[in-house]
Amino acid sequence: MREFNLSDLNRRSGELADLALVAPISLKKHGRPHLVLLSAAEYERLLAPRNQPGGVQKALAKTLPGPKFADLTRTANGEEH
């Protein structure tokens, strides 16, 4: 996932919006993850499994890979931490 500073949103909003239409982008504040910008279509895709047990967690784990989401993936798969 591409990362930008939150201040970039003010200066490059059109460009970041275009990038988010292709793939989610991370916006950092003070060097830490603060927001994720994604397309409406991707948001709806993430919400679709919300009525299935672990569905949202599984969708997020696929969209936002990395070590921070390892626990989320294990939870979605019904594993203990």
Q: In the chain, where are the structural domains located?
A: 1-38, 40-81
Q: According to the model, what pLDDT value does residue 81 have?
A: 47
Q: Which value, in Å, is the radius of gyration of the alpha carbons in the chain?
A: 14
Q: Which fold has domain 1-38?
A: YefM-like fold (3.40.1620)
Q: According to the model, what pLDDT value does residue 27 have?
A: 95
Placement of tokens 């793939």 in the chain: 23
**Global pTM value:** 0.59
Q: According to the model, what pLDDT value does residue 11 have?
A: 95
The helix (H) or strand (E) run that includes residue 45 is helix 40-47
pLDDT by 10-residue block (mean), the chain, 81 residues: 94 96 95 93 81 66 60 57 47
